[in-house]
Each structure stands twice: as structure tokens, then as C-alpha cells.
Amino acid sequence: MSKVASGKIKKSSAKILDEFNASIMFDKELYLEDIEGSAAHAKMLLKQGIIDKDAKENIINGLKTIQREIEDGSYIFDIKDEDIHMSIENRLTFLIGNDAKKMHTARSRNDQVALDFRLFALKKNRQIVDLLLELEKILLELEKKHTDTLLPGMTHLQHAQPINFAYHLLAYSSMFKRDISRFEDSYTRGNVSPIGCAALAGTPYCTDREYEAGLLGFNSVSINCLDTVSDRDFALEVLFNISVLMMHISRLSEEIILWSSSEFGFVELSDEYSTSSSIMPQKKNPDVPELLRGKTGRVYGNLISLLTVMKGLPLAYNKDMQEDKEGVFDSIKTAFISIKILTEALKTMSVKKEAMLKATKKGHLSATDLADYLTKECGYAFRDAYKLTGEIVGYADDNGKDMSELDLQELKKFEPKIKEDVVDILKLYNSMNARNSQGGTSVKSTKQQIEYFEKWLNERD
């Protein structure tokens, strides 16, 4: 059968229309949700006395057969069936006959597709959260090892102040935690059943939407049917959440790429997660983080694409909305593999403490500490202290030293009030440790942050 048999359309469709109109090549991904949805619908129809027990049993058994056929690969997906919904209904009619034709009572493909797609998005939200929790655990393991590992903290990609590596990674723990909460918020907001809205205006049958929603695991039932069949916010939220997640992954990837260059040499990706050049035998390329950075672009594209599809649509369902799925499937697949491979790459990455320390000794990272010292101990206004420190930086540069290596005599030439204690203050480790304010980089504060994430992860287990 080509298309849905209709009163208005007598001729079968042109082959090119089938090709153009069909979504089955991609929406077959929703087969399980479609089967679950139809089984719940049949149960509700029976409970309400709309179909009888035999019809319901036949429908459910037929749906089970179809699920088996799809999963063992014997099922034929045919573009003539247009989409997964018609495909399953047509197959069911072939398998069980007339009872199959009762299954679509009191629903429409408009609420059916809204249901299937929403169930799918909710399931994927959860799975992404689980993967992100694994990533958080790996980050935490790395952090615990590196509270004493100094590296230059940067702004403008210029050496700024000394920090420790755990503190740097904790910034990403924070980002991924926000990502998790975004997926969970979307899950809660999306956990509303669309089924029973029918085409756009509800149905004259005496249905029980609450019961059907309960069977499908929803928390509640949507308020307004016109909105429900028009709404793809849940899909947009998944696309947005994945976009923000990928932006975070991309920033970490960018850092890993920089860090694994010979200029930085801060980390080395394991051989398993590195690639080689086809011509330069000495090369080890960070293809994994590069691809993660690159894939972020297509994920943004999927978000913009669906936002654009939706922006001009009158209520309620329009066929344009069939364009909602491929981007979502693609972004979800991208998120899955990206989180997994990032987790593995981090797990197996080696951290080059010595190179980090060496880099910390470049760029006078304790200059702010000297300015603070002059302000606190020598009676300078901060702006004057800043200026004098600048001169001392110039002196250190001229003498090929880092400021942290200057001795007391050298410093006293600039300001006689400077005392012995300054030498310790300017040491890079001490400079890092001095930033002990809440959320700062000191070892104490870093450990508190680690504890915070550890407690959060334990409580979720």
C-alpha cells in the first residue's frame, strides 16, 4: 500500500513522492517506542470498552511478533509505507487482520509521532546522564592525583597565575555537572504524555489519557492538545543540551590538543587513542580531541536547523516537522560516542608534571603576589604596587630570571621595606596555595571541591 489510503486521494502516489515523503529510512529508529505506544493504546481502548479483549490480545501479540521480526532482521522496511507508524500498522494488519484496524481508534499519527519521539528523547536524556556520570568519575580520579601538580593558569592564553591541575580539571567537572542538570531538567519538563490528543483537537471517544500515560511511565498528561501535537520543545532541548555539552567537550579538547603539542608537552594521549600521519612517521596526532571539537559544529547545525524548521509553522502539525528527527538522532549518537571516547582518552592520558612545572616558571606568575605584598606590607596603594612590580618584572626579564627566582637583595634594591618573608611568598607553589578563598586554587580549596563532587557522585549512586 502506498501512503495512507484516503477518500480524497484515489491514485497511488508517484514513486518520487514516496521517496520524498517517506521518513521510514530514519524513523525506524523509533520502532520500540511505536510498539510500546500502540500496546498501551490498545490496553486503554480495552479498559474504556472501545475494543474487546480478543482485539487487544491480538494486537499485543501481533506487536510482539513485529518486534521480534525487527530485532532478528527479517522485517522489511518499505518506503511505500511512508513511516514507521504506517509500516507497523500495515504489517499488523497483514499478521492479524481486522483487529489491527482498530488500533488507531482515538489517536492520530500526529499524537503518535509526538509520543514516540518524546519517549525516545526521554530515554536518551537518561542514557546521556549515565555516560556523563562515568566521565565525572574519571575526572575525579585524575583530580585526586593532581592537587599538587602546578601549571600556569592562563587568561588570553597567556601565563597568568599558578594553579594546580586538579583545579583546572574541576572547572570541567563543574561544566559537566551543569550539563547533567540540564538533561535532567529537560527530562522532568518533557515527562508529559502527548498521546490521546489525536489530530489536534482531542477525540470524541471516551478515552483515559491518565491511564495510558501511566502505562507508558509518564508523570502527567499534556494540558492542551493543539499545543501538544505542535510542540517539539523537548527535541530542541535535547539539541540545545547536547550543543552546550559539546561546547564544553570541545573546549577541553582544544586544551588537550594544545597540551599535547611539543610547545606545551603537558599531556600525552595513549597510543590507543592517537593516530599517525600517513607520510610523517614521527607523528602522533590528537585526532580524537580534534574530531570532538569538529563534531561540535554539526551538533550546533542540528539545533539551528530544527529551530529554523519550527519558527514559521502555524499550529498544529505540519509535515515540515518530519524534519525534526534526523538531526536529533545524529546529535544523540554524536553525544554518546563523544562522551565515551573522551572518558577513555582521559583515563589513558599521561600527565607530564615536569613540563607543567617548567612552564609555570615562565611568565612571572607570582607577580600579583608581589603587588599584593607591597600593598599589604609596605604601605603602597595597589596601583603604585602594580607599577613597581612591573619594573621588577622588567628587571627579572633582563636578567633571564623568573620573578620567583629573585633573591631578597635584588628585591630590596627596588623597595627597602621588602623583608625576608617575600621570598617564600613569591615561590610558585605558595602563590598557588595563597589563593585560598572559596572556590580558589589553594590545595585546601581544591580538595574541598573534590570532596564536593565526590559526595555528589556518591549520593547519586
Give me the residues that bind ligand ARG (CB under 6 A), please.
23, 27, 83, 109-110, 113, 317, 319, 321-322
Closest distance of CB 14 from ligand ARG, Å: 17
Q: How far apart are CA 38 and CA 85, in angstroms?
A: 9
What Cα–Cα distance (Å) separates residue 278 from each residue in 274, 282, 284, 285?
A: 13, 10, 11, 11
Residue 440 identity? G
Does the active-site annotation cover 305? no
Does the active-site annotation cover 364? no
Residue with smaller CB distance to ligand ARG, 35 or 267: 35
* E-assigned strand segments in 312-384: 350-351
Residue 8 identity? K
Cβ contacts of 268 within 8 Å, gap of 6 or more? 260, 349, 350, 352
Closest distance of CB 320 from ligand ARG, Å: 9
Locate 388 and state its grid cell. Answer: 613597581
Residue with smaller CB distance to ligand ARG, 8 or 53: 8
User: Alpha helices, DSSP H only, in 98-108?
Assistant: none
Closest distance of CB 226 from ligand ARG, Å: 14
Q: How far apart are CA 424 and CA 2, in angstroms?
A: 82
Among 169, 210, 163, smallest CA distance to 443 is for: 163
Q: How far apart are CA 80 and CA 86, in angstroms?
A: 9
Closest distance of CB 239 from ligand ARG, Å: 16
Sign of the alpha-carbon dihedral angle for 309, 315, 320, 325? positive
Residue with smaller CB distance to ligand ARG, 269 or 321: 321
Among 351, 323, 335, 367, smallest CA distance to 128 is for: 335
Residue with smaller CB distance to ligand ARG, 116 or 372: 116
Residue with smaller CB distance to ligand ARG, 305 or 375: 305
Inter-residue contact 150 to 162 (CB < 8 Å): yes
Closest distance of CB 221 from ligand ARG, Å: 20
**Catalytic residue chosen out of the listed positions 156, 262, 278, 437:** 156
Residue with smaller CB distance to ligand ARG, 27 or 29: 27
Closest distance of CB 141 from ligand ARG, Å: 43
**Catalytic residue chosen out of the listed positions 181, 261, 270, 277:** 277
Residues serving a catalytic function are 156, 277
